[in-house]
Amino acid sequence: MKEFELIKHFFTKQTVKRKDVVFGIGDDCAVLAPIENQNLVVTTDTLVAGVHFPFETSPRAIGHKAVAVNLSDIAAMGAKPSWLSLAITLPDIDEAWLLEFSQGVFELCEFYNVELIGGDTTQGPLSITITAQGFTPKDTYLSRSGAKSGDWLYVTGDLGDAALALQQITGKVELQPQYIDTIRNKLDYPRPRVLAGQTIREYASSAIDLSDGLIADLGHLCQASNVGANVVLDALPLSNIMRDSLLAEDAIALALSGGDDYELLFTVSEDNKVGMETAMSHAATSVTCIGQINASQTISTTLNNKPISIKTVGFEHFSE
């Protein structure tokens, strides 16, 4: 099977056919018809085997995660996803692997009405790069740079489960057998908070998605907004599996720095707290207030109402 046969066989047969795609896969470029009075948001993410997912990860999970991490970025802007392009580097052509991988891609695309419009295929070590686009109403979007002193700090969902799964895979922790499948799904099949992002767009002052770990990504938000924050460690949302499997201090460390959560971290003013919490309850998404923004330009943490220093950091692509 050659490159163009591969593309035709695995990536042109998709359920989603959007009206704003004039011409999709099959030419030098896709032709799109953007919506009037909308902002177009664009993101690109690369996943590399052995770095962003274990080598033994199923191809369906790799396809799902490659799409999910990009849609999580779209969600953090408060946008509705629309299109994506896929560049995949493969060691060789394995038709069974490609079939399962493409199923993982299209399952998530169909759920969010996203159309694959093109991309590229090359030979080499396994890596997947996706560029995703989405829309927000004109001049209405979220960013990292809008947090103000006094805003409350919120996060969706639970933290640390994906990192716990990775520790289980690498033999650093042992989990009770009934927990393993549930916790592995948190790592392999993250749920991008697309609806939550569109919901908080009306209330939040800033937002970021959690990919590198809470402390690292909060640092990005604070730097962009020129503010500081205090995180209440007692308030961190931890799943029952985390609480049952780890000592409290180890669970907190994973929640702060584990990464791969793909939840939304966002800030809300005092005036918008009640409205946001009501709207999120209607969107069936749990949110937890974990601290408050301040003017210090540093990140502090408290436990049992007492200051506590932390040494944990998030994921770094290029570390010394």
**Does residue 144 have a known ligand-binding role?**
yes
Q: Report the C-alpha gap between 143 and 165 in whole angstroms.
A: 30
**Does residue 43 have a known ligand-binding role?**
yes
**Does residue 158 have a known ligand-binding role?**
no
**Does residue 244 have a known ligand-binding role?**
no
Residues 6+ apart with CB under 8 A from 165: 183, 184, 186, 187, 188
Tokens standing for residue 110: 């169909």
Q: Report the C-alpha gap between 84 and 131 in whole angstroms.
A: 5
**Does residue 151 have a known ligand-binding role?**
no
Residues 6+ apart with CB under 8 A from 263: 155, 156, 157, 158, 159, 193, 209, 210
**Does residue 78 have a known ligand-binding role?**
no
**Does residue 261 have a known ligand-binding role?**
no
Question: What is the phi/psi pair of residue 92, to 5°?
Answer: -160, 175
**Does residue 82 have a known ligand-binding role?**
no
Largest CA distance in the chain: 63
**Does residue 120 have a known ligand-binding role?**
yes
Residue found by looking up tokens 């330009």 in the block? 297
**Does residue 250 have a known ligand-binding role?**
no
Q: Which residues pair with 38 in a beta bridge?
A: 137
**Does residue 315 have a known ligand-binding role?**
yes
Asked if residues 147 and 206 have their Cβ atoms less than 8 Å apart, the reply is yes
Feature table: binding site: 28, 43-45, 52, 73, 119-120, 144, 209, 211-212, 260, 315
Feature table: binding site for Mg(2+): 28, 43-45, 73, 120, 209, 212
Feature table: binding site for ATP: 119-120, 144, 211
Feature table: binding site for substrate: 52, 260, 315
